[in-house]
């Protein structure tokens, strides 16, 4: 049985979710303890596994037979290669910190039992994606993650915006998942296996051509949905309607990078087609810049960070598209640290200002919330890739990979410029100057459960670059470092601070007003006009068909016929027993006549 | 015209009785008369049975008649009881007044 013990890191959070849902709903204190302890157990287990079995080795874990028919064999197993172990540790570790943060953040919420149950469900699902050893189980957990994301975005379901955002996230993800499942089916039919372990060795029989490209693009479609890349990025900014710990854990640090993780897993398939790889690289490249531009004109503190998340994930996607998974995974890890930190700091600000999210209604928070201000600064420097903070090391590796693709290098470095710009804007407006609302005037730091996770993450954001992360990622392309990318990206990142400083140093309202950026390039409007309008038309048509033909003609029509027949026939029931007897006699006579007539012949 | 009475005479008499009874059942208003007419129907059938048995020289129809008489007696007792019960409620025995079960 000891061989199966690694399953515990997967099953503990599920156990917690079930127990809370079934028994502990009325006892939030116990629910929180169970959920947090389960997450702690998962984290310790992941940590033990991370350092056992050697840095480069894969730990073999017996699989549980699951699906087996006609050429499809999907066992329920765990893939414990270094990549999975690193990711599992990252997920459970960040989740643990967010659990602790949530204890303080949701102290007053009457439904916090439900919140922690859903959080545990998410940890279970996410660990499932990370540890899945074949594409079918991965897809299963992929959907579970979508479900927990839906539940958590809509946690405050009494707010209409939260409900709408949850629906939007779920529906947009459906589109990506549809492509993903088509991709999985394609992999099965082309290569005859869905196991991630056997996949690289079975690619030799690849037929090549457009089929492989289609399969690769299908799998990438899954990434587009979950990792919120263009054109399916519209759900992520809206998902900020959920509680801030959720934004931090799901929509910044872990869940949204599942798409990148999946791409790294199936990279051997993607690499079979240059078209696929080029598409991925350019979608990633374009998505580094566009959200960074949009973020420059947003006023909601969480939405600014959400757009920055889109941009950072795009760096990872671009790196995968360039075929360098090491830097992508490295940036994923570092990003988890500093973006989780930034969101938790934003949560601390929102908590301190009593649910104010507009940065123009804040101001002067640096004096009232010095700790939050400092960690936000640390997170910003890490995000902008200023040495020697964590973001610098991972971004540098990604920029180095673009050295031979000047166009991509230029786009992504300009994105770095704007990232610095909007982050400094956020800090100057929210933390600098003087308070611009009553809430900001009475802002205060939160309790220790809010401070502690931010402290840990701040340390990781500063020192993350010195963690031996790369040793788990196999050979990273050391030596290919082109120094020009380093200097250009650094200069651009630093240059981004300059205009922000001069524009927003003493601003009390936004001196810039760029409608197209405020309107987020009108992608939502485009979808509403074109897609949603057409859908509505189709829906109305179907409704009319249902109302007039099905309900009106078939259902109600047959009812009318039956009623009319009944109305006619009941006239016979006159209640006169002698009339009945007459009819009976007439019947008997006609029967007799009929018998005699046929009997003569 | 021979004086002998044949099976045909009996059957004609039986048919005449049956028609009279039928007319009584269908046309008379008083339920008491309707029930008497019902008895007439049964006895018309009895007459036909007895006559056929006698002329064919077989006893079976005559046995059947005993059963019919028994059943008719029971039917009369039951029917009259129902009639009395209906009269107590409706204060009438007219058949066309018994139309509670119409649409």
pLDDT at A220 over 60: yes
Q: Model confidence at A205, in pLDDT bands (50, 70, 90)?
A: low
* pLDDT higher than 80, residue A585: yes
User: Which of chain B's residues have a Cβ under 8 Å away from the Cβ of A576?
Assistant: 95-96, 99, 102
For the segment A129-143, the average pLDDT, to the nearest whole number, is 91
Cα(A397)–Cα(A477) distance, rounded to whole angstroms?
A: 8
Q: How far apart are the first and last CA of chain A?
A: 89
d(CA A53, CA A75): 22
Q: What is the pLDDT of residue A481?
A: 54
The mean per-residue pLDDT over the stretch A462-484 comes to 68
Burial of A380 (0-12, 13-18, 19+ CB in 10 A): buried
Looking at the complex, report in whole angstroms how far the Cα of residue A573 sits from the nearest Cα belonging to chain B: 5
Is B100 within 8 Å of A575 when comparing Cβ atoms?
A: yes
**C-alpha to C-alpha distance for A113 and A102, rounded to whole angstroms:** 11
Chain pair A-B, CB pairs under 8 angstroms: 31
- Tally Cβ neighbours within 10 Å of residue B100: 7
Supply the DSSP string of chain B, one letter for each residue: ------HHHHHHHHHHHHHHHHHHHHH--BHHHHHHHHHHHHHHHHHHHHHHHHHHT-SHHHHHHHHHHHHHHHHHHHHHHHHHHHHHHHS--BGGG--TT--
Backbone φ and ψ of A204, nearest 5°: -60, -35
Average pLDDT of A469-494? Answer: 71
Tens-digit pLDDT profile for residues A13-44: 999 999 998 988 888 889 999 999 999 999 99
Of B25, B27, B102, the CB nearest to A575: B102
A577 contacts in chain B (CB < 8 Å): 95, 98
* Model pLDDT, residue A99: 92
Nearest residue in chain B measured CA to CA from A573: B102
Chain A CB contacts of B25 below 8 Å: 578, 581
What band does A532 get if pLDDT is binned at 50, 70 and 90?
confident
- Nearest-CB residue to A581 (from B25, B102, B103): B25
* SS3 at position A179: helix
Residue A316's pLDDT is 92
**pLDDT in the model for residue A189:** 85
* CB–CB contact B101 A582 (8 Å): no
**B35: chain A residues, CB-CB within 8 Å:** none
CB contact under 8 A, B103 and A581: no
pLDDT of A399 higher than 70: yes
Q: Six-digit token pair at A527?
A: 């979808």
Give the model confidence (pLDDT) of A236-255 as tens digits: 888 888 899 998 888 888 88
When pLDDT is cut at 50, 70 and 90, the band that residue A55 belongs to is low
Q: What confidence score (pLDDT) does residue A482 get? A: 60
**Mutation target among B95, B97, B100 for the A interface, most CBs of A within 10 A:** B95
| Gap from A564 CA to chain B (nearest CA, Å) | 14
Reply yes or no on whether the pLDDT at A474 is more than 70: no
- Average pLDDT of the residues in A541-560: 89
Integer CA distances (angstroms), A472 to A54, A57, A87, A481, in order: 9, 9, 10, 20
Q: Which two tokens stand for residue A56?
A: 């480069």
Whether pLDDT at A208 is above 80: no
Q: Is A246 exposed, middle or buried (0-12, 13-18, 19+ CB in 10 A)?
A: buried
Give, rounded to a whole angstrom, the gap between the first and last alpha carbons of chain B. 57
Kindly report whether the global pTM for this prediction surpasses the value 0.90.
Answer: no
List pLDDT tens digits, range A485-498: 888 888 888 888 88
Element (H, E) at A68: strand A64-69
**Half-sphere exposure for A516 (CA within 13 Å, toward CB):** 3
On the question of pLDDT at A193 being above 90, the answer is no
Q: Is the sign of the CA dihedral A208, A211, A215, A218 positive or negative?
A: positive
How far is the C-alpha of A260 from the C-alpha of A319, rounded, in Å? Answer: 10
Using CB atoms within 10 Å of the CB of residue A175, give its burial: 0 to 12 exposed, 13 to 18 middle, 19+ buried. Answer: middle
A600 touches chain B (CB under 8 A): no
Residue A112: asked if its preceding bond is cis (omega within 30°), the reply is no
pLDDT at B95: 85
Which value, in Å, is the radius of gyration of the alpha carbons in chain A? 30
The pLDDT of residue A479 is above 50? no
User: When comparing pLDDT for A367 and B64, which is higher?
Assistant: B64
Average pLDDT over residues B21-44: 92
DSSP letter, residue A444? -
Give CA angle at B33 (B32, B38), nearest 5°.
Answer: 100
Give exposure, A330-342, as e/b (b: 16+ Cβ within 10 Å): bbbbbbbbbbbbb
Nearest CA in chain A to B19: A585
- What's the rounded mean pLDDT across residues A70-95? 86
What is the arithmetic mean of pLDDT over B9-27? 94
The number of residues making up chain A comes to 601
Reported as a pLDDT band with limits 50, 70 and 90, residue A440 is: confident
Would you state the pLDDT for residue A60?
Answer: 75
CA dist A270 to A33, A175, A462, Å? 43, 20, 34
CB contact under 8 A, A576 and B22: no
3-state SS string for A86-137: HHHHHHHHHHHHHHHHHHHHCCCCCCHHHHHHHHHHHHHHHHHHHHECEHHH
Contact indicator for A469, A83 with CB cutoff of 8 Å: no
pLDDT cut 90: percent of chain A above it: 37
Categorize the per-residue pLDDT at A473 as very low, low, confident or very high, splitting at 50, 70 and 90. confident
- Nearest-by-Cβ selection for B103 from A573, A581, A582: A573
Q: Is A510 left (phi over 0), alpha (psi -120 to 50) or beta?
A: beta
| C-alpha pair distances (Å), A409 with each of A227, A398, A485 | 21, 9, 8
Query: How open is the CA angle A306-A309-A310, to the nearest 5 degrees?
Result: 95
A57, pLDDT greater than 80: no
ipTM: 0.85
Residue B49 banded pLDDT, cuts 50, 70, 90: very high
Using the structure block, give the residue that is written with the tokens 């991709």: A183
Sign, CA torsion A125/A284/A265/A340: negative
Least-confidence region, from A175-184, A188-197, B6-15: A188-197
User: In 10 A of CB A512, how many CB atoms?
Assistant: 13
Residues of chain A by 3-state class (helix, strand, coil), percent to 5: 75, 5, 20
Cβ pair A143, A128 in contact under 8 A: no
Angstrom distance (rounded) from CA A194 to CA A189: 9
Q: Is A480 helix (H, G, I), strand (E, B) or coil?
A: coil
Q: Is the pLDDT of residue A478 over 80?
A: no
Residue A458, SS3 per DSSP:
helix
């Amino acid at each position: 049985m000891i061989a199966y013990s690694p399953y515990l890191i997967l099953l503990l959070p599920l156990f917690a979710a079930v127990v809370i849902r079934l028994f502990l709903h009325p006892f939030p204190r116990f629910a929180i303890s169970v959920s947090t302890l389960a997450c702690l157990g998962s984290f310790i287990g992941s940590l033990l596994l991370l350092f056992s079995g050697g840095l480069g080795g894969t730990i073999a874990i017996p699989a549980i037979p699951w699906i087996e028919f006609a050429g499809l064999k999907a066992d329920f197993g765990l893939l414990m290669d270094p990549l999975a172990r690193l990711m599992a540790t990252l997920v459970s570790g960040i989740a643990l910190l967010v659990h602790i943060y949530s204890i303080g953040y949701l102290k007053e919420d009457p439904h916090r039992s439900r919140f922690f149950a859903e959080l545990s469900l998410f940890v279970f699902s996410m660990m499932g994606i990370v540890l899945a050893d074949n594409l079918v189980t991965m897809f299963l957990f992929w959907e579970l993650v979508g479900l927990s994301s839906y539940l958590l975005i809509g946690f405050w379901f009494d707010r209409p915006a939260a409900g709408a955002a949850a629906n939007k996230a779920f529906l947009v993800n459906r589109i990506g998942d549809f492509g993903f499942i088509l991709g999985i089916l394609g992999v099965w039919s082309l290569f005859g296996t869905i196991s991630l372990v056997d996949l690289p060795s079975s690619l030799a029989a690849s037929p090549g051509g457009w089929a492989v490209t289609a399969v690769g693009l299908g799998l990438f479609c899954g990434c587009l949905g979950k990792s919120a890349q263009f054109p399916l990025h519209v759900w992520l900014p809206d998902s900020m309607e959920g509680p801030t710990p959720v934004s931090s854990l799901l929509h910044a640090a872990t869940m949204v990078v599942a798409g990148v993780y999946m791409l790294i897993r199936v990279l051997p398939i993607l690499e079979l087609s240059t078209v696929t790889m080029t598409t991925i690289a350019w979608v990633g490249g374009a998505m580094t810049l566009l959200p960074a531009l949009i973020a420059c004109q947003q006023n909601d503190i969480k939405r600014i960070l959400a757009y920055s998340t889109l941009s950072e994930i795009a760096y990872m996607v671009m790196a995968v598209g360039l075929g360098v998974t090491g830097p992508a995974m490295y940036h994923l890890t570092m990003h988890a640290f500093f973006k989780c930190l930034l969101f938790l700091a934003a949560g601390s600000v929102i908590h301190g200002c009593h649910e104010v999210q507009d940065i123009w209604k804040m101001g002067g928070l640096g004096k009232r919330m010095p700790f939050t201000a400092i960690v936000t600064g640390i997170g910003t420097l890490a995000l902008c890739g200023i040495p020697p903070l964590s973001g610098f090391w991972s971004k540098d590796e990604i920029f180095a990979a673009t050295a031979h693709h000047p166009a991509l290098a230029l786009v992504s470095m300009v994105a770095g410029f704007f990232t610095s710009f909007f982050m400094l804007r956020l800090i100057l407006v929210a933390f600098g100057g003087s308070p611009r609302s009553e809430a900001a005037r009475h802002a205060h730091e939160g309790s220790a459960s809010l401070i502690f996770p931010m402290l840990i993450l701040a340390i990781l954001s500063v020192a993350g670059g010195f963690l031996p992360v790369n040793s788990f990622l196999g050979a990273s392309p050391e030596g290919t470092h082109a120094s020009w990318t380093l200097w250009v990206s650094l200069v651009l990142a630093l240059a981004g601070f300059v205009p922000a400083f001069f524009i927003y140093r003493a601003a009390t309202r936004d001196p810039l007003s760029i409608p197209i950026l405020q309107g987020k390039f009108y992608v939502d409007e485009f979808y509403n006009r074109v897609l949603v309008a057409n859908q509505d038309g189709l829906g109305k048509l179907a409704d009319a068909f249902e109302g007039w033909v099905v309900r009106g003609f078939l259902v109600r029509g047959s009812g009318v016929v039956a009623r009319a027949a009944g109305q006619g026939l009941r006239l016979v029931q006159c209640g006169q027993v002698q009339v009945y007897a007459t009819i009976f006699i007439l019947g008997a006579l006609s029967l007799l006549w009929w018998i005699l007539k046929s009997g003569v012949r | 015209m021979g004086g002998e009475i044949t099976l045909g005479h009996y059957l004609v008499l039986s048919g005449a009785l049956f028609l009279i009874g039928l007319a009584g059942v269908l046309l008379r208003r008083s339920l008491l008369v309707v029930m008497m007419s019902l008895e007439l129907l049964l006895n018309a059938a009895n007459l036909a049975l007895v006559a056929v048995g006698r002329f064919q020289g077989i006893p079976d129809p005559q046995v059947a008649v005993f059963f019919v008489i028994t059943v008719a007696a029971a039917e009369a007792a039951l029917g009259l009881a129902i009639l009395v019960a209906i009269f107590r409620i409706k204060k009438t025995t007219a058949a066309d007044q018994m139309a509670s079960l119409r649409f």
